[in-house]
Amino acid sequence: MFTATNIVLNNIIEDRTTYAQRGEAYGVSKILLSFEFVFTLHLMKEIMGITNVLCQALQQQSQDILNAMHIVSTSKLLLQQLRDGGWCNFLANVKDFCEKHEIEVPNMSAQYIFGRGRSRQPNVTVEHHYRIDVFLTTIDSQIQELNSRFSEQTIELLTLSCALDPKDNFKSFNIEEISKLIEKFYPLDFLSNELNILKFQLQHYQHDIPNHLKGIDGGLRVPEEAELRRRAAEEEEEGMKGVWRREEAEGSDRSDGQCGHGDVRAEEEGDSNDDDES
């Protein structure tokens, strides 16, 4: 792609009749064949190669939360490894690319000249500029962005919440993780004795799950959505106190007003039906 772009720019420089077109193409070609551009291009390639896997995973609606959180962790790890030990190999690849395309590589030990005024920064070499000001700074900003969007607390919350996932016949159902989820993130919603009672209720529920999965040719399948909602409501009445609904509604507050809204809608529908009959 780099070579093809360079060929197109050279053709424009040679074939276009207007001075403006030739001048614009020449300016772009000069930037394209600079060490700074090649360095930036390779850095983008490295970072986007790592984060693209996470982006693709988050865009898939069928992606399970637990796997996505694992990819978040591995993305942070790979970026940190690139930051701490990837400079030498990265710089070598950039230099090889420049030599292949006959692009001048600056003396890394020389003093760095900054800006159009060509001012020199004391005690700042070319290598220091590209390694500290560009390479490390860019990677640090990406790591900081991931940490702000996916903090350790958020990852733990989503990971523990996977224990409530009904997928694959409640394969991820885990009493210890559900208890840890409640103790760490919803301590005010349960008294200590209620939490103890809940643990026993979860044990009953774990063994009761197969009885509510409908068999097909001797196998099992996940019950329909209506059945899941009914079971979640029953568990809430027995002591779950909204844990299951919190998983579905992503932390929405429990409110008696919701029932009130439902009654109002029911009354409105009833009045509407009466008007239709009349």
Number of domains forming the structure of the chain: 3
Phi/psi-derived region of residue 251, left when phi > 0, alpha when psi is between -120 and 50, beta in every other case? left
Residue that wins the pLDDT comparison between 31 and 166: 31
Backbone angles phi, psi at 67, to 5 degrees: -65, -40
The verdict on residue 278 lying in a domain is no
Residue 106's domain comprises 34-150
**Max CA pair span of the chain:** 92
The verdict on residue 198 lying in a domain is yes
The verdict on residue 273 lying in a domain is no
Question: What pLDDT sits at residue 232?
Answer: 46
Answering whether pTM is above 0.85, one says no
User: Which sign does the torsion angle of CA 72, 78, 82, 83 carry?
Assistant: positive
The verdict on residue 82 lying in a domain is yes
Q: Please report where in the chains the tokens 């701490």 appear, as a residue.
A: 84
- Encode pLDDT of 149-170 as tens digits: 888 888 888 777 777 777 766 7
- pLDDT band per the 50, 70, 90 thresholds, residue 244: very low
Question: What pLDDT sits at residue 271?
Answer: 53
The verdict on residue 276 lying in a domain is no
Claim to verify: residue 63 and residue 138 sit in the same structural domain: yes
- Encode pLDDT of 83-121 as tens digits: 999 999 999 999 999 999 889 999 999 988 876 555 556
Which of 26-30, 68-72, 113-117, 200-204 has the weakest average pLDDT?
Answer: 113-117
Claim to verify: residue 40 and residue 94 sit in the same structural domain: yes
Distance CA 108, CA 110 (A): 6
